[in-house]
Amino acid sequence: MLKSIRIRAAIVVLICLAALVYLAPSLTTNLPESWKKYLPMDKIHLGLDLQGGMHLVLEVDTEKAVESTLARSINDLKETMMDKRIRFRITTNAAGGNAVFEFPDTPSREAFDSLLAKQYPDLEVASSGAVAGKGTATVKIKDKRALEIKKMAVEQSLETIRNRVDQFGVTEPEIIPQGDDRIIVQLPGIKDTTRAKNLIGRTAMLEFKLVDDENSIEEALKGNVPEGDVVAYESRLDRASGRKNEIPLLLKSRTLMTGDALETAKVQIGDRFGEPHVSIKFNAQGATEFDRITGENVKKRLAIVLDGVVHSAPVIQERISGGDAQITGSFTMEEATDLAIVLRAGALPAPVTILEERTVGPSLGQDSIDKGTRASLIAGILVLLFMLAYYRLTGIVADVALTMNMLLLLGVMVIFKATLTLPGIAGIVLTIGMAVDANVLINERIKEELSLKKTPRAAIEAGYQKAFLTIFDSNVTTLVAALFLFGFGTGPIKGFAVTLTIGILVSMFTAVFVTRIIFDYFIWNRKIEKISI
């Protein structure tokens, strides 16, 4: 038995030492260099409510995602119809989620219906009619497919925003869906909130379009925009005055290539003026496509358009192979870095709108930490005093277990990189009470056995055996509830569930395993004949 006690005691000591090692960086900053080199340096991660930061509620414009999908399908449908020499005219192009085709005769309409049924299963004719003797067909995305597109838009937006935030360097962000079209973003420790909002909300739709130098931009600005063209603006920096000017350009509306083919994007410094620019590289398929586009349009201007704004429109001097290109513009290093981040993370499938924004200041977070720490200390001291007063020397055993419980709880949080929130502190306070609950059950059982005139050894043995099932049942039911809170809860609820779950598991270990070692030591090694309880 003495050997067993030594082994169990050694296990407990090692576990406590491990917890102290992981907890040390959170307790002090004055650690030796050797510690920083060889031992863990992770600290307890604090949530948004404790260290300050930003809370955003975003709404994904899922209708726009449906419209964009329809627009791409309609453009493809138009090209196919022209290849098959089907006569048509579009009077409304993907506006309001549908497109209206006009046909001069019945054979054209029948050929259109046949083509739609064979090659475009996601499209359907919503309604038909006649205008001035000509047949019309209103085309839209099928309802089932539209729901799938909306759901996918939210999922893709969630993943894209998460990738952007990860590359931005935020520790322990919380990015979760809410409802059908909303996303909650919590960024602890963020100080530059404007930059964070721009990074998260930027659509980052990268397009390559030809500049129409054959038609007059002046006429287009008067409202005479040629069919198949759009007016866009290029932002240029006047080096003499330092002002940014908006230069109008007439672009072909057809997108030759998008950022979907990007493999990577990184910031580089230009040789000429030492200004940062974003260097992009396409994947194998994109490189082949870019090679073809530049080869077919030598001596023409190719506009690089991001979210509808032209960043540059250089003349293609020769075929560009290898899949490399540059996005230049009057960037600061910070702007170029953020642009590279959003391009690497990918474009949002639909625009997002910030519905709600809350900022928690660091001073408010520190105040929450101080109050939570004070509440935990007061609760702990009161419980320690109660156990000592009510159970006398046996209460000290429970107090040792409680102290160890707090040490292990915080140590485990560091090991698993769990985030401590204000509700999490409430979970710790609750755990303090629950940690001694098991000891109360054990002590009461021991008192009952002693009242039956049993020896201390027999009373302790029976007390632990009879109390264990009750302790196990009560903790398991609470643990199940905590796991459900963690699985289905969000934000504050999850923070509460984390500390409660860890606290339950740790308290089971300290209340049953650790306290039994102490009792066994006094019974078998010190051979006590009376228990102070």
User: Cα(397)–Cα(533) distance, rounded to whole angstroms?
Assistant: 11
Q: Which part of the chain has CATH 3.30.70?
A: 63-146
Per-residue pLDDT reduced to its tens digit, 416-457? 888 888 888 888 888 887 778 888 888 888 888 888 888 888
Binned at pLDDT 50, 70 and 90, residue 43 comes out as confident
Per-residue pLDDT reduced to its tens digit, 144-185? 999 999 999 999 899 888 888 887 777 678 888 888 899 999
Q: Is the pLDDT of residue 233 over 70?
A: yes
Check residue 231 and give its pLDDT. Answer: 92
CB distance 448 to 520 below 8 Å: no
User: Cα(492)–Cα(56) distance, rounded to whole angstroms?
Assistant: 15
**pTM of structure:** 0.66
Q: For the beta carbon of residue 481, count every other beta carbon within 10 angstroms.
A: 14
Per-residue pLDDT reduced to its tens digit, 243-268? 777 889 999 988 888 888 888 888 88
User: Cα(387)–Cα(380) distance, rounded to whole angstroms?
Assistant: 11
Query: What's the CATH number for 63-146?
Result: 3.30.70
2-52+362-525: CATH superfamily: Multidrug efflux transporter AcrB transmembrane domain (1.20.1640.10)
For residue 99, the surrounding DSSP H or E stretch is strand 98-103
Average pLDDT, the chain: 85
Q: Is the pLDDT of residue 530 over 70?
A: yes
Q: Which residues pair with 186 in a beta bridge?
A: 55, 174
Which of these, 392, 382, 398, lies nearest to 450 by C-alpha position? 392
CB distance 503 to 428 below 8 Å: yes
Q: Which part of the chain has CATH 3.30.1360.200?
A: 204-347
Degrees, nearest 5: CA angle 486-352-209: 135
Q: Report the pLDDT averaged over residues 34-44.
A: 82
User: Cα(148)–Cα(327) distance, rounded to whole angstroms?
Assistant: 34
Structure tokens at 330: 């009057």
Check residue 61 and give its pLDDT. Answer: 92
CB distance 315 to 301 below 8 Å: yes
* CATH architecture for residues 204-347: 2-Layer Sandwich (3.30)
